[in-house]
Structure 1
Amino acid sequence: MKTIPGKHTEDLDLHALRVLDVLFRERSITRAADALHTQQPALSKTLARLRVYFNDPLFVRVALHMEPTAKALELEKPVRALLDGFQRLRSEQSRFDASRSTREFRVFTLDAGVIVLLPPVIKTLLGSAPDVRLRAAQVGLQNLHTSLESGEIDLAIGEFPLLVPGIKRQKLFSGQHMCIFQKDHPRLGRSPSLAEFLEEQHVFITAAGTGHPHQVAERSLEGQLPAKNIIAHVPSFTTAAILAKNTNAVATMPGPVATVLARELDMRLTKPPVKLPEFEISQYWHERFDRDPGNQWLRSVINAEFGGKPPGRKR
């Protein structure tokens, strides 16, 4: 079936195809403009040009979102194929020189990842790729897949079991939860007993940004602790550590971030005397960018730094 009118071929550019592709995913001019880092009026102008080009409205408003017309649905696969072909062509013809590149990579990771992963990676970049920049990009977890697919996010690092269609994954390390508290705690030593641990006051880290594995561990811990011993719920691991340092409370969190915070805040680090589920940290990227030289280079840097063992362990 012919979907692209030949007499207008010279008017169709790559940017217009990208706008169309993002609109297929987002079903919203506002979200599409955000994904493309452009203004809504500019995107609306491109959509108007596409409508003239194809002689079809392409997207019509239904309730609070936009739905593709029958004509637009015919275009979705051909447009995606053209963009994927261009991406492959660009990847095969380009070479990434990290020492000279000024590229900014956008990496999505949660609170623990920002604390644990970014400092050593940025230190490595300053030595071997001084003009490459890393941005800790924030998107809603519900939009993470589309952000990877569109290239808005280059990599995601963490444990995201729902990232499946079209997403490639490389395991970095497994880990377990640890707890931190004051070094001069009046009752707890290096290896608290179960009874001692349960009798102490605890700080919980409860927020969407802490990740699914921590939420599972925290629910398990909550079921074993007396409710009166949970003195606070805070939104970040750093806040919990500072609160624990300034009280007699215990903060339990993923081992790598606990190791960093215990070192930086001069606190005691120990295994909790309760069984908590392990977690697995991986890096994720979309198959569309699997052969992108820059993406490949960044993945190799992160795997060289963290592949095999949790951060903080001697290799």
Structure 2
Amino acid sequence: MREAPVKPISRQVDLNLLDLFDAIFRTRNLTEAGQSLGLSQPAMSHSLSRLREMYEDPLFVRSRQGLQPTPFAERLAGPVAAALQIVRGTLEKTSFNPLTANRTFRIAMTDLGEQLLLPMLVKRLAVEAPHVRIETQDKTIGPVAEALATGELDVGIGFISGKIPGIYQRVLFSDDYVCVVREDHPMVRSPAISLEAFRQMGHVLADLPGGAHTGVIEKILKAPTLNANVVLKVNHFLSIAPLIANTGLIATVPRNLATTFVNSWKLRLVQPPFQFPSFDVTQYWHQRYDHEPSNVWLRNILGSISRDVERADLAKTVIQGD
């Protein structure tokens, strides 16, 4: 024998009536309860009649001390108040307090992002969120988008081309490309390298899996009009600095990263013999977490420190004569 289908709770209970029951139980006065709910006396009387019909119990009876609950209403009061509190709680937005938060944020970024952003991020967190931890992961954009959707990752940072369904993006800063050579390179004496020298020198290329930088740089270097001599491909940008410092090779890298190379190694920045395109470094996150307080906070922190990375003040002065 098939069981009768259970009626949806919305057809059995009117939430407004439960709110009314709670108000009457607390005040023991129909007029005062109506004022707290913004209802007139007739509306309160009508709603109380519906409540009595729904529960098949008088619920409240008049006395000299006001409306007194029946034994059934006494038993009902606790569960109703608890249920209303739960419902109200769903309407309250959760907050995020970085000073007391104890959690781990997971960010997708390459070694380039780690070099540029992590030192400043850790410094900020030490003051503003001392118990927050950071884990970075280097993934191609496909797995990153999936991990953002599932919550495995909180945000991603990098240079990506095009839009991805379900993924929101915000530009952190803009950058362009510049060449790096060792400080005493015999073929590069001026702030800009000649086209002939650029063709003759051996090039190092960072070949990051799924990285947009690789495609942009390699497309130009291998163009028929240039046909540069790419002698070495490496998996990470940070491998380039010691290679350049100890060889006669040249590399084309993002300018902000090149600036950190100059500060740590005996390298020079030189302008390439033609204009490489500029690009935007973006942070990206899944639409599910667009309003999630901790995710919003993290994105704002990253946006703030990224403004300090802008190349305008520092990097433009690194190339002598530029």
TM interval, short-chain normalised: 0.5 to 0.7
Tell me the residue number matched to 1:149. Answer: 149
The structure-2 alpha-carbon separation of the partners of 1:90 and 1:240, relative to structure 1 and needing over 3 Å to count, comes to farther
Could you list the runs of 5+ residues in structure 1 that have no partner in the other structure? Answer: 8-88
Tell me the residue number matched to 1:128. Answer: 128
> Could you tell me how far apart the structure 2 residues matched to 1:159 and 1:170 are?
11
SS of residue matched to 1:208: coil
Tell me the residue number matched to 1:277. Answer: 277
- The reply to whether residue 306 of structure 1 matches residue 306 of structure 2 is yes
- The reply to whether residue 106 of structure 1 matches residue 134 of structure 2 is no
Deviation per CA, 1:207-256: give whole Å up to 9, x if none. Answer: 315x21332222212325455x3321221111122111110111111112
The structure-2 alpha-carbon separation of the partners of 1:313 and 1:113, relative to structure 1 and needing over 3 Å to count, comes to farther
8 Å contact from structure 2 (residues 148, 286) kept in 1:
yes
Tell me the residue number matched to 2:222. Answer: 222
Tell me the residue number matched to 2:235. Answer: 235
- The reply to whether residue 244 of structure 1 matches residue 244 of structure 2 is yes
The structure-2 alpha-carbon separation of the partners of 1:160 and 1:6, relative to structure 1 and needing over 3 Å to count, comes to farther
Deviation of the 1:301 alpha carbon? 0.8
Q: Which has the higher contact order (CA 8 A, sep 6+)?
A: 1
Tell me the residue number matched to 2:181. Answer: 181
Q: What TM-score does the superposition give when structure 1 sets the normalisation length?
A: 0.65
> Could you tell me how far apart the structure 2 residues matched to 1:298 and 1:91 are?
23
> Could you tell me how far apart the structure 2 residues matched to 1:219 and 1:109 are?
23
SS of residue matched to 1:157: strand
Instruction: Please tell me the root mean square deviation across aligned C-alpha atoms, in Å.
Output: 2.7
Tell me the residue number matched to 1:295. Answer: 295
Q: Aligned ranges for residues 166-177 of structure 1 at < 5 Å?
A: 166-177=166-177
> Could you tell me how far apart the structure 2 residues matched to 1:245 and 1:91 are?
59
Letter in 2 for 1:246: N
The structure-2 alpha-carbon separation of the partners of 1:297 and 1:92, relative to structure 1 and needing over 3 Å to count, comes to farther
> Could you tell me how far apart the structure 2 residues matched to 1:110 and 1:91 are?
39
Letter in 2 for 1:254: P
The structure-2 alpha-carbon separation of the partners of 1:106 and 1:255, relative to structure 1 and needing over 3 Å to count, comes to same
Letter in 1 for 2:247: T
SS of residue matched to 2:268: strand
Tell me the residue number matched to 1:200. Answer: 201
Deviation of the 1:300 alpha carbon? 0.8
8 Å contact from structure 2 (residues 204, 232) kept in 1:
yes
The structure-2 alpha-carbon separation of the partners of 1:172 and 1:90, relative to structure 1 and needing over 3 Å to count, comes to farther
Deviation of the 1:261 alpha carbon? 1.8
What number of residue pairs does the alignment pair up?
229
> Could you tell me how far apart the structure 2 residues matched to 1:257 and 1:123 are?
19
The structure-2 alpha-carbon separation of the partners of 1:200 and 1:144, relative to structure 1 and needing over 3 Å to count, comes to same
Could you list the runs of 5+ residues in structure 2 that have no partner in the other structure? Answer: 8-88, 316-322
> Could you tell me how far apart the structure 2 residues matched to 1:185 and 1:195 are?
15
Identity of aligned pairs, percent? Answer: 33
Q: What TM-score does the superposition give when structure 2 sets the normalisation length?
A: 0.64
Tell me the residue number matched to 2:259. Answer: 259
